[in-house]
Amino acid sequence: MITLYSMPGSSATAPRIALDEAGADYTLLEVERDDAGNNTAPPGYDALNPMGKVPTLVDGDLVMTEAAACCLYIAEKYPEAALMPATGSDDWAKTLRWLTLLTNTAQASFLRWYYPEQSTTDAAGLAAVQEASVTELARVADVLAAQIDDGPFLIGAQFTVADGFLAMLTGWAQDLDAGSRWSDDATLAAHYNAVAARGAAGAALVAEGFPATFSA
């Protein structure tokens, strides 16, 4: 059985959505941290994931880290769930493109906004790091909104693991300052709501602390 190590509202939300959409039998274990940011439970977690982050997915002897990689593994393990287009197809390639943009560029920018102290040792520069992150997120939001267009999902009618990942990030956008490009985009809000309207994905989002619907 698969075990997914998580923290509420973290990047483990994306593989949780994938597991629930696949109807997988799995165990969800919450990683706990102290005020200093050290993992305290479950015991030995840092041996599983030397980076000390979530998610970590364990399937037998296999240990997977990194949210996007976990999502792709789940899609491959449960092909009947059709969480990825047919391997080698144009839509498969496009989904890889969007998932990579989401994890390499968008997620990284969100994390710099949440934790600017990890990007500079100058306390006076924290606001500048966050400002640059918001600017980068606005550029990504423009690209994603143009891609979704009539949607409802990133590649049209088919829901993929990239859509679960994008919904997670849009959920994070509720923490951005009012007026930010991502949090105020009607197309991204409609995409989030299309994902949330799916029974499994919507339940996972709410369980992780995200809203049942997103209003731009």
* Domain co-membership, 60 together with 18: yes
CATH number of the domain encompassing residue 104: 1.20.1050.10
* Domain co-membership, 145 together with 176: yes
The CA distance from 188 to 170, in Å, is 7
Total of domains in the chain: 2
pLDDT for 35: 85
Mean per-residue pLDDT, 195-211 = 97
Residues 167-185 pLDDT 10s: 999 999 989 887 789 989 9
Residues 11-50 pLDDT 10s: 999 999 999 999 999 999 999 988 877 888 899 899 999 9
Mean pLDDT of the chain: 95
Mean per-residue pLDDT, 57-67 = 98
Burial code (b: 16+ CB inside 10 Å, e: under 16) for 28-67 equals ebebeeeeeeebeeeeebeebbeeebbbbbbbeeeebbbb
Which residue shows structure tokens 């990890």? 118
Report if residue 208 sits inside a domain.
no
Query: Residue 7: which domain range?
Result: 2-81
* Domain co-membership, 71 together with 148: no
pLDDT for 4: 98
Query: What is the three-class DSSP state of 4?
Result: strand
Residues 123-175 pLDDT 10s: 999 999 999 999 999 999 999 999 998 889 999 999 999 999 999 999 999 89
CATH number of the domain encompassing residue 22: 3.40.30.10
Contacts of 27 (CB under 8 A, 6+ apart): 1, 2, 3, 4
